[in-house]
Chain A
Amino acid sequence: MAEVSLQGEQRVFMTGNEVVAWAAVAAKVDIMYGYPITPQNEIMHYWTRLAPKYGKRFLQTEDEISAGFTMLGGVMTGRKAFTATAGPGNVLMQESCVMAEMMRLPAVYVIQQRGGPSTATVIYAQQETQLTCFGGNGEGHRIVFSTSTHQELFDYTLKAFNAAWTYRFPSFVLGDGYQAKMREPLTIYEAAARGVDLVPTTPLVGEAKPGQFKHLRNTYNTEDELYEVVMANQRDWDAMAPKVVEWKDMHCQDADVVFICHGVVARAAVGAVEELRAQGKKVGLFRPITVRPFPDKQLADAVKNAKKVIVAESAYGQFLKMVDLALCGSKVERVPVLRPGIGITTEELVEEYNKL
């Protein structure tokens, strides 16, 4: 393979972790903060090799709590920063994430989910879906992109930075160990080559003009004061949601049965839908790309003609809860396929369909 570069665009064949590192370069990230954890390590490994070539920086912190908060420090100075982690590291990152929610900091986290709870496995799961969306003492004011291909991993990593800096809510790219370690082709590109504008950054502190000092606040004295702040955030969140929400559907219009999945599991569903459609079966697929904000209206609309939906995830009902909430007014029958910490294949989904 030719030398990888970000000039113009280039088709490459690489692991998901490498994709994320290149996407961060393409997003013109200034600094990465991180702490080792499998299966995310190689994002750091590639970044530490790429960064000096592009005049970028890296700090290995003493743990994930520190990685999260150093990143907050970084973005407050108006520099583009991110971190990447998984599993127990994601748990520790939540503390910084709620500060980012409260103070509206453009933090970016890349999560390569692994098996849980606890240290469990270093391999794969979708068990951090709820954690990533709601894992703090707040209202879950975050944007969470759940990717399913390497192309998306690249595209949405770029997007996560733009979303964070546009709306000032922390943004996550929610991947998993499979995406981290597998190799497949994609096209990486310089943002300009594709007409993608990189949202400019602005400092919150550190570049004060005389007499204009900022005082960033995080603690409030009264219930009412807090209420005002949270509700203001909520209103911004509500206004933003329709602009960032993304989903994909496939043959839902005339489908009797619709698969509902997110992330890498949606790949299995694409395979299943293609196979079953080829046999003349009326099946479809609905896949939220943003699991937060959740495309609830779009989902309800997509399954309005369906008789059954098969909700498949590599966790025990974390995603199902979101689907249930979105479909609370609908009578469509829900068939859960819940496999915590283990992959789901096309064959298994076809089999589930045939069991209906």
Chain B
Amino acid sequence: MTIDFSKYPDEHGHFGPYGGVFAPETLMAALEQLKNEYELVKNDAAFLKELAEDLQNYVGRPTPLYYAKRWSEHLGGGKIYLKREDLNHTGAHKVNNTIGQALLAKRLGKKRIIAETGAGQHGVASATVAARLGLECVVYMGANDVVRQAPNVARMRMLGATVVAVESGTKTLKDALNEAMRDWVTNVDDTFYIIGTVAGPHPYPAMVRDFQAIIGREAKQQALQHENKLPDVLIACVGGGSNAIGLFHEFLEDDSVEMYGVEPAGLGLETGQHAAPLCKGKPGVFHGNRTYLMQDKNGQILGTHSISAGLDYPGVGPEHAWLKDIGRVNYVAVDDEEALQGFRDLTRFEGIIPALESSHALAYATKLAPTLSKDKMIVVNLSGRGDKDMNTIAQIEGIEF
């Protein structure tokens, strides 16, 4: 492939026909300021040094690349390695991005940060960095997610954040994002909006990707150390797409590396009860960018379903939309049941309790690994740990607290 992926997005935030800045007028100046500031810092040695130190000493990077030997042997095919983002401080990849954006917020002199969250991992990561920097923090979370991710709600509150349960629309992640946008429009002068995934208006998709790309940079080196070669296959779950792009980006120009982004098929792609815009949606404009969306024929955004709150979103980052169209990444889907089995398998074979989001990537690995020979190397992004999902799982498995 001859594409120079480092040239994307263009200066207006476009990945081919996707991305862009489709924002209300009141935010345009703030987005322009953010874009300019980010352009400055991304090549600024002092900023990058501070970021690197925070990632090492506060987050605990680098995260290991762990060979899941017993599970791989059980599946009887390719060797599965797990990129252990679950071992980050706060328990998911989300913090890689919040650390970066919080440093920007500080540079811009903002006193208050806001965030949207689905699973609560991004909310926890935002509340965490806010506590550390002494900033006020408000997290918007769909009312349904407040219930199903209760442990994370408690964590955010302990960290001093205000959690606002959003009662409008479908009461999930997209509605939390709407409400965060409304807050930002109202408080744009003193507030920094930390978006938690590679969606939203430019520069967010590019900036969040850059902050998450450390996952793939580390994984590449670690793969060379372990197996003395590049991985053959990468697998990551896709909600908005930040952990997936974080793993994939470093490898996009390595033609030999196959990539799978795994969307949630919910109750099944044919039922309509899913959150798989790349597999089943079509392009449109939502939350500030053009991308694949779950929408009806009139352009109304559809409600979604996934057992995993962090994947329960009708859109997806614009770079993924483009990577789909150019055929560089394969987008597939696994349903709730398959994800639960992935969850059980990793727990029982490796003693690692994964997040339900990450369990989607694991479930796809259980399908793919047996079809590959034993010399093939698969890297699965274990984007987060499952502590937050205890309520959901206990209920399903009939385990009492």
**Does chain A bind chain B?**
no
B interface residues, Cβ below 8 angstroms from A: none
